[in-house]
Structures are given as structure tokens and as C-alpha cells.
Structure 1
Amino acid sequence: MRARGRDGGPTAPRSVDVAERAGVSQKTVSRVLNGERYVSEDVRRRVLEAAEQLGYRLNSAARALASGRTRTIGVVALGTALFGPASLLLGVERAARDAGYALTIVNTLEGDPGGVGGAVRSLLERGVDGIVVSEPIDEGADPFSCDVPVLVLGAPAGTGAGERTLCAGVDAEALARAATEHLLDLGHLTVHHLAGPQRWFAARDRMAGWRQALEARGCEPPAPVEGDWSAASGYAAGRELAARDDLTAVFAANDDMAIGLTRALTEAGLRVPEDVSVVGFDDVPLAAYVLPPLTTVRQPFDAVARDGLRLLVRAIENPDAESSTARKQPVELVVRSSTAPPRPRDPGRLPPAAPPTGGL
């Protein structure tokens, strides 16, 4: 029951009311609501449930004055609805909320010169305690700098603010190698690549992993075809790849392009996987339901976000602590029905025999 004022009306709940409802001290309530450690999960749960039941909200201005921090993390995100970046951003939001931080998000646009640097300056003006830069692309500009810890997700080390920059993400090269090696292990003599736009660090890493896998087996990588992550670009690439006489396997840099590619191959009279095997990247929800269900490599977006936020919060709350590194995420290949050993090609699709030379 809420406390009542002198006029008999309900008053705003106080921390003492939360403490009484949860059966803990006011100091424990403060620790929980400020996201401090050394509180058991049971106590944390009771306090949060009591605060929610009473409608208690910690005064953020008072908290900032007392701690010198706003408990706000700024996020620089590429303004896109693509599955990978959107899933990573959702994971960051969940992890920040669980750590007791609010998010302030600034979107940048692909092709905006200096977009990341400008977004960082905007967030610093709002007094954020730390910054997350999610899935940046190569802007061809100098790294930005700032005086708060920065977590970069999905880009190589050095893309950021120097000594206070932390990096987390999947090993995209390892995932791409696993996808390519799966096809080679099935017996395909080579693997073609439907690449993502090469301004994206993620696309570069996936292409690098594909090349490494082929070169390790003594295969000369065939010329890749570049898309823009969309199913439409995968479809256009599929029409081009279908004309290649050595096409038996394709690794696509994301699932959307793999789905468009499969449609184009089917329209060209090529069966997947009987004639051409296809592997995607991401494991989007639709991948399990297309025909045929798509073999792909799964990105652990939530795990990457949680691990990265752990590093960032530690750097915010313990600025003098030695930097730690992100955990290495496992490679998870999801094998479905879009891949199979190569079969003899339809003679009708073989290149015409060379005309005889010489005598009769």
C-alpha cells in the first residue's frame, strides 16, 4: 500500500517503502537500483519487484549528482533495418537495461562523411558515461577521440578512441571459414562468394575468411560478386553466377542475399542443392522455413552484446582497472537442406566441345 500525504491522497513512493516491501535495508535498495555489484540475485529480484509494484522511480538527477555519472550509455548505430545490426542493437539494449543503464541512440547513415565522429560528439555533449559504436563502416576518416570508454562492436581494433577503446564481436573470418570449409568437405572443388558491400568491415572479414579457407586447400578463389545485403542484390548476383560453368557451391555473406540467390538459381533451371549448394550467414528466422531450408552460420548477437557491455560497464565503473578482453564466441554452423555433395552436371549445361582440328 502506498503512503498517504496530509490530505489523504497517495504520495510518491520512497526508497524506504521499497525497502519495507522487499524486506531489506534502504542501503540495499540503493545498491540494487544503482546497479552495484555484490547483491545476490534473489535480493535484486525482490527489490526490483517491489519497486515495480510501488511504481518507484529513482531520481536520475540526484543519482547523477551523487555518483558523478548519469548511468547513460550512448550508442552510435548505422540507421538500418538489416537483421544483423538490428539484432545486435536489441542485444545491447537488453544488456544495458540489465546492468542498470539507459541508452541514448544516435543513428548515422551509410555514406555520411564523418557520421560516426559527429554522432560521438553529440553523445558526449549529453553527458553519457560510455559509448557503443555498433557495426561501423569504413568512412575513410581518422578515428574519433573522446574522454569516456568506447566499445566498438563488429569492427577491427583501432577503429575508435585509442587507449580507452574496447572491442567485441564474433570472429567473422572464422565463421566464414567454417561455411566455406563445410562446402569443400562435401567435395566441392571450389566455392564462389556472394560478398557484402566492401565498405562494411563485416563484409571484408567474411570475404577474408572465404579466401583463407580456399587458399588453405590449394584453391584459387574465383572472382566474387558483390551485393548490398538485400535479397534483391542476391537475386541479381544469382543470375550472373548461374552462367558460370564451374558453379557448384556458393557462400553468401548474409542470409537475405542467399535467399535471393536461390530464387535466381531456381529460375535458371539449377536445383538447390542438387546442382548448386548454398550457405548463408546470420541464421535469420526465415532461414529455417525457405525451400530448401538454408544452411548458414549463426551469429550469437545477445552473447556478443552482453560480453561487450560487461567490458564497457567495468571500464566506466572501474576506470583504473586493467583492461580485459571479450570472450571468444563459438562457431556454430547450422546445417540444413541447401547443401549436399556435388553431383555430375547436366550435359546440356556443359560448354560446347572444341571443334576438331587437323585431318578428317
Structure 2
Amino acid sequence: MNKWLSLSISFVLFFFATGCWNHRELNDIAIVTAMGIDKLEGAKRYEVSFQVANPSTLAQATATNPATSILVYSAEGDTLHEATTNATLKVPRQLFFAHKRVIVIGESLAREGIKSFFDVIERDPEGRVSYQVLIAQGHPAKKFVSALSHLDRISGFDLDQKLGRTNNGNDENLRIEVNDVIDALSSPGKELVIPGVYIEGDEKKIASEDNVKEANPGIIGVKELAMFRKDQLIRWLDKRLYDAVTLVRNPVHNLTVVIDCDNEKNRISFPLERSKPELRITEKLGKLSIDVNVLIEGDIIESGCYTNLEDLKVIREIEQKVSKEVETNIKEVVQIAQEEKTDIFGFGEVLHRSHPDLWVKYKNKWSSSFSEALVKVKVQSAVRNAGLRTNPYQVDKE
């Protein structure tokens, strides 16, 4: 009886088993690894570029023939969806976006506004929001998507790993993903910042096979940070201020602070091993007061100064110089943000979490309230290690 009952149940359940109803064969898809989007000059049209991995040649590619590892398909359209559809007509397979690592946005489009573009991404039922967003500096986004790299066959993966992937232990650069952008665009208490990428070297060869045959090839690097007001790019922050923003927003390591010696000829390198920002917001006499306290710890890796690092007084002087340098940079970028009325640090979110009742009061006028707030910055530095050598080699004191 139990045997027949089990068979009957199994037979009934068979009709409810849908199997792999939405499966896609590898031979039928084109895996998109990077995407670029530009706004064409003098026209209200978009150009979308897709970097597609070429699996038939990845296993066979050699150092002398790496160009076939990726293919780039581009198309134009009056809307982003139309441009994407036109691009798919050029590809013999169905575009598959699950393995996309980066999206590069042209600077002109970023200055006009990016909200509509991310609206399209968020509406896509098959879209992912965990890939990285970058802003193209000096060249169209298509140029960056078409670039070839030395170490990685797929340059989209190479670019993604440069920008703070956890597997290389480098979080010096802010890693901004699609979900971070959507969160910033939809939150009144935090404005958007996105790293910018630039081309170093011969820009004409970077998308050609000749680039990967040279010992000193053209490369894509990160140097500045794009500051946004709402969804529009308004200015760039240089690397020094970029680092200051990073220290306020996130705990970081691998960020190096450089200070001068007394004679201003030589310098000391102070790589951070750990940092911890603490933000506190209060209201005094109807005006907001923001306290920014940053604790940083690091080692002295390079010392061009003739100093005795065994002397505790010397260590304290170095700590004070490091604190002053970082504090000056943070104050400068805070002043810029207040002048631009854009809270790129997320102070509004901190107020919302810590004092929800107070946030209700300032929510609808946060930009102006932030610009008028009193911001006090304090940095405390600690030298944890001076390396294997405590006394540097004799250098010129003059």
C-alpha cells in the first residue's frame, strides 16, 4: 500500500516539476563583462558599448594574440533602451549581463544627469546591482571599454580588480557599485561620489593589439573623484582630497600619508594599517554641529629624515605632523562640499540614524542646513611600527 501511495505521489509531483524552463546554452549567449555609455555631442542620442568575452579564443589566446579575447559592440539610440536593442542586433548571440563587472559613464552624460540611466538598470528584472560604476575622464566611455590589458585577458575584469576588489587587499579607492548609486540618488541625506578613470600612455594604441606587445603599455588608472549634486557631476576632487573623503566615509587601509621633514627636502611615508571615522551630530541654538573624529594607525615604511626613531619624542612629532596633514585635507574638502551644498560624506544619514526626530526637522532643507553647519575635524594618529631599522642612514641635514 505504501509503495503504491509513494508512486502515486511521485507521479502527481512529476507534473509540477518545471525543470530548467529558462535555461540558456553557453553557445547561445554572449557574456557581457563591461559596459560604456556616452551622450553624443550635439545630439540627444546615446551610444552604448558592450565588452563581450570571446570564449572560443580565451583558452587559445597567447601573449602574441590577445586581442581576440574581447569584442566590443556599439550602437546609438534616442533612448538607452533603443541603443541597447540596436546593439543586440549586431551580436549573433543573446547578451548575458550576469557577469558584468563595470559600467563606465561618459563625463558629458554625467554632467547632464544619470538618474534616468539608473532607472533603466533598476527596472531590469535580470539586472544585477553589485557591479562597479566609474566616470570616464578625458575620453568617451567607449574608449575605456575597448581597452586591452596585459595581465587579464578581459580588461573589464582587470579594471574591476584595480578598484578595491577584496582579493588584492587594496581599499584605498572608494568602490561605488550600482546599488550605492541608487541608494545615494534616492536618499536625501547622502550625495553621490564616483571614482574617475583616465588613460595614461598612448591613447591611440590602448585599444589595439600593439598595446599589449609593449613593455610600457597604455593603461587605465584612477586619480580623481567625481562629486555630484543630486544626479549631476559638478566638479572633480584631486587625489589628495579623494583620500580625505575616503577617510571620512569608510575605514580604510593601504592609504599612504606623506609628510615633510623639517628641512623640506626629504619626506616620510606613513601607510595606514587601520582607520576609524566617528561622526557625531548635535543641535546647538538652532544650528547643527558636526564632529568628525578620525583615528589612524600606521607604520613608518620610508624615512628620508635624519631622526632617531627610537626616541619617543620624535615619534610623537611624526604623529602630530601626520594628524595635521590629514586634518587639513579633510577640512578643505568639507569646505568645498559646503560651498557646493552637497553632502558627499553622508552626514544626513548619520543624523537620521542617531536623531530621527531631529532629521524630520532638517530633511526637506538638508542641503542648506549642511552648508551652514559647524564642522569640527579632529585627527589622531598613532605610529605602530618603525620597521626593522629604527635609525635611518646618514642623510644631508642641510
Counting strand residues as a fraction of each chain, which structure ranks higher? 2
Counting helix residues as a fraction of each chain, which structure ranks higher? 1
State TM-score, norm by structure 1.
0.26
State TM-score, norm by structure 2.
0.24
